[in-house]
Amino acid sequence: MSLIVADGLTKTYTKGAVSVEALKDLTFTIDRASFVSFIGPSGSGKTTLLNLIGALDRPTTGRLLVSDTDVRTLDRRAAAAFRGHTIGFIFQEFNLMPVLTAYENVEYPLLLVQRVPAPERKQRVLALLDAVGVADQQNKYPDQLSGGQKQRIAVARALVTNPQLVLADEPTANLDHANAALVMSTMRRMRDSLKTTFVFSTHDPRVMAEAEIVFRLEDGRLVSRDDTGVAA
Amino acid sequence: MTTLIKIAIRNLTRYRRRSLLTASLIAIGVIAVVVFEAASGAFTGLMIGQMTDAMLGHLQVHRRGYVASIDNLPLTMMLTPDEVAVVEQTLRAQPGVESYSRRLKFGAMFSNYTETTALRLNGVYPEDEWRTLPLLASRIKQGAATLQKGQIIIPDLLANGMGVKIGDTVVVIATNRDGSVNAAQLVVSGVLANVTGPSGRDGYVHIEDATTLLRMDAPEISEVAVRLKDFDQLDQVAGAVRAALQQAKVAGQIGETEVHTWEGLSPFYNVSVLINILALSATLGLVAIVLVSVMNVMLMSVYERVKEIGTIAAMGTMPRTILGMFVIEGLSLGVLGILIGDAVAAAAILLISAIGPTFNFGRETGLVLSPQVDVGRMLIVSAVVLLVAVIGTVQPAFKASRMEPVEALRRG
């Protein structure tokens, strides 16, 4: 059963008379509970593709189903609601809110997006912080945390809403090797326990090795799919 | 809502210096407006009190056209005794009227046997006049604060200029409505300080002396000065008296009359209007300060937090929540400015009141300025500031709420 179905997906940016085709005729599927990486050089279209899958942007042509929802049909509010209930995001620069503590950052989507009642909120936030190994840092503000701690909190924030899909754009790009490995193992462990689908982009060979399925993008085209990690 | 307020306050403390600077700017505006309004209100209140309680009364009733000719003190535009009775009946029927005083005003020549000058005289029933003008007694700077038949209270201009003293006998000469000239010998019983300045030439005689001097069979009345129980009910009472007198006219009981509040009788009203315009200008200045400073700081805030906006939008935060987040932040800034401004302004007003600075106005010296903390007025100013703070925030907040998350994440 596929969580993501892309069929003839293209994305073209137009500015004045100039058009740039960022994604060209992509067709692929991603199953639920997969641990998938899109790799490729800068400008290959990784971030653009993740933005489309995350309903942050709309494809120019083609069909894109995410959890059986055609993301092209979503208006602004519907896309926000869809993201809030279906997708978690992890960013390269962590993007934690600097005025909120680690606990409050993880709590934010439950509080202001999903409006979950307080007792359940607390239980879920503490469970996630514990699961990603930063429970003891919950009262600290982002500027008091290391990069690895921030990214693990970002992982907890992405997972706290019980999304079907987590999208991570270069999640280890700002981390050293040890922290990158820790974050990747955390993500993988969370996938194993929660059965959440993880899709991330990277050009870090060490991170690629963690993925079960690796899609290679070049110049906006999907040039290969490597499923060897699944068997491994 | 609590979370949005918490985030707003933390974001304000995050840019502490900028927030304090903006809040201080708002506070200074609030202080300027509140203190100016309190001081100018105290000044105008004091001066209106002087005018109404020592000279004019709160409102006056005349025969129609009298006020337009008041400089000539015409004896041809009087209220007859029957008409005065109707006016009195009307005033007694008004629950808002505390007292009234009938006046027979006329021009006369004043002589101390060596010099003669012109004088404006008010023939009054002393008890009524004193009751209607409670500050009149304080204007009598020499002599007794009473008036008997055969006595005259003269303005200090005449007392000083002609060397007349308490107890002196003087002669008052007047021409009546028919053109006959008559004179009366009166004893100076008091010297009256003038409210409006050194040119005052108004004196007082008993109404029976005035009636005799003008050879009237019964006193005719130039004006009826009225004091109200509650000054704030001025327009309502004036309207009710006007309507009642109009009804009496329709019923044929009285001729055409006119009712003027103090505003239509004293040039000081124009000064008070000018002061109110200045207060309004200060308020508009405050509005401009709040609008520009809040809008500026919130626009900066939005531009500096584009990535944060993109992040929370990507997480599924609805545009209205993002809008609310920034509006509450601007509102909090306004509240901070208001709290500081109101507190400092109240302290400043209490301090001024405690010091009690004095000033002179006309020939009145040593008037004490005693501004009061007007909570109602402060609430209005605060509400205006809050409203303007929200208006100043709406555009930046709307801009933030309309950001495309993908664009915001890219730009941030």
- Look at A81 and B405 and tell me if their CB atoms are within 8 Å: no
Q: Which residues of B touch A84 (CB under 8 A)?
A: 315-317
Q: Which residues of B touch A81 (CB under 8 A)?
A: 316, 318
- Look at B317 and A112 and tell me if their CB atoms are within 8 Å: yes
Q: Which residues of B touch A109 (CB under 8 A)?
A: 315-316
Asked whether A72 and A65 are in contact (CB, 8 A), the reply is no
Whole-angstrom CA distances from B169 to B146, B164, B189, B256, B315 are 17, 9, 10, 40, 98
Q: How far apart are CA A163 and CA A21, in angstroms?
A: 30
- Look at A112 and B3 and tell me if their CB atoms are within 8 Å: yes
Question: Does the residue B260 lie in any domain?
Answer: no
What value does the CA radius of gyration of chain A take, rounded to a whole number of Å?
Answer: 17
Q: B298 is in which domain, residue-wise? A: 2-51+269-411
Closest C-alpha among A195, A193, A197, A172 to residue A183: A172
Q: What pLDDT is attached to residue B138?
A: 84
Q: Are residues B241 and B318 in the same domain?
A: no
Q: Which residues of A touch B398 (CB under 8 A)?
A: none
What value does the CA radius of gyration of chain B take, rounded to a whole number of Å?
Answer: 31
Q: How many residues does chain B have?
A: 412
Name the 3-class secondary structure at A102.
Answer: helix
- Look at A97 and B14 and tell me if their CB atoms are within 8 Å: no
Q: How far apart are CA A218 and CA B1, in angstroms?
A: 46
Nearest CA in chain A to B321: A112
Q: Are residues B158 and B223 in the same domain?
A: yes
Which of B307, B311, B316 is nearest residue A80 as measured by Cβ atoms? Answer: B316
Query: For chain B, what is the largest distance between any 2 Cα atoms, rounded to a whole number of angstroms?
Result: 101
Name the 3-class secondary structure at A164.
Answer: coil
Residue B334 CA, distance from chain mean position? 30
- Look at A109 and B315 and tell me if their CB atoms are within 8 Å: yes
- Look at A99 and B14 and tell me if their CB atoms are within 8 Å: yes
Place of tokens 């950001």: B403
Q: What pLDDT is attached to residue A198?
A: 93
Q: How far apart are CA B43 and CA B46, in angstroms?
A: 5
DSSP class of residue B286 equals: H
- Look at B314 and A54 and tell me if their CB atoms are within 8 Å: yes
Q: Are residues B247 and B326 in the same domain?
A: no
Question: Does the residue B57 lie in any domain?
Answer: no
Nearest CA in chain A to B405: A56
Q: What pLDDT is attached to residue B196?
A: 54
Domains of chain A, residue spans = 34-56+76-231
Q: Are residues B133 and B30 in the same domain?
A: no
Name the 3-class secondary structure at B120.
Answer: strand
- Look at B3 and A83 and tell me if their CB atoms are within 8 Å: no
- Look at A100 and B406 and tell me if their CB atoms are within 8 Å: no
Q: Is A54 on the interface with B (CB under 8 A)?
A: yes
Q: How far apart are CA A108 and CA A97, in angstroms?
A: 9
| Domain at A34-56+76-231, CATH from 1.10.10.60, 3.40.50.620, 3.40.50.300, 3.40.50.720 | 3.40.50.300
Q: What percent of chain A has pLDDT over 70?
A: 98
Q: What pLDDT is attached to residue B106?
A: 93
Q: What pLDDT is attached to residue B319?
A: 92
Question: Does the residue B59 lie in any domain?
Answer: no
Q: How far apart are CA B156 and CA B45, in angstroms?
A: 25
B105: which 2 tokens? Answer: 């005003």
Query: For chain A, what is the largest distance between any 2 Cα atoms, rounded to a whole number of angstroms?
Result: 55
Domain count, chain B: 2
Q: Are residues B247 and B310 in the same domain?
A: no
- Look at B316 and A100 and tell me if their CB atoms are within 8 Å: no
- What are the backbone dihedrals phi and psi of residue B275, each rounded to the nearest 5 degrees, phi first? -65, -40
Asked whether B289 and B29 are in contact (CB, 8 A), the reply is yes
Q: Which residues of B touch A51 (CB under 8 A)?
A: 406
Q: Which residues contact A73 (CB under 8 A, 6 or more apart)?
A: none
What residues in chain B have per-residue pLDDT under 70? 195-199, 361-364, 412
Q: Are residues B219 and B70 in the same domain?
A: yes
Min Cα–Cα distance to chain A from B287, Å: 30
Q: Is A76 on the interface with B (CB under 8 A)?
A: yes
Asked whether B390 and B338 are in contact (CB, 8 A), the reply is no
Asked whether B203 and B120 are in contact (CB, 8 A), the reply is yes
Cα dihedral: B284, B290, B296, B300 (round 10): -170
Min Cα–Cα distance to chain B from A134, Å: 21
Min Cα–Cα distance to chain B from A198, Å: 16
pLDDT in tens, B364-397: 677 788 898 999 989 998 999 889 988 999 999 9
Q: Are residues B291 and B197 in the same domain?
A: no
Residue B343 CA, distance from chain mean position? 25
What residues in chain A have per-residue pLDDT under 50? 231-232
pLDDT in tens, B211-258: 999 999 888 999 999 999 999 999 999 999 999 999 999 999 999 999
CB pairs under 8 A between A and B: 66
Question: Does the residue B58 lie in any domain?
Answer: no
Min Cα–Cα distance to chain A from B390, Å: 22
Q: What pLDDT is attached to residue B199?
A: 53
Q: Are residues B46 and B73 in the same domain?
A: no
Min Cα–Cα distance to chain A from B322, Å: 10
Q: Are residues B95 and B204 in the same domain?
A: yes
Q: Which residues contact B344 (CB under 8 A, 6 or more apart)?
A: B27, B31
Write down the ipTM of this complex: 0.91
Domain end, chosen from B233, B255, B277, is at: B255
Whole-angstrom CA distances from A157 to A104, A135, A152, B206, B281 are 9, 13, 9, 92, 51
Q: Is A74 on the interface with B (CB under 8 A)?
A: no
Q: Structure pTM?
A: 0.75
Q: What pLDDT is attached to residue B286?
A: 84
Q: Is A229 on the interface with B (CB under 8 A)?
A: no
Closest C-alpha among B112, B84, B60, B63 to residue B211: B84
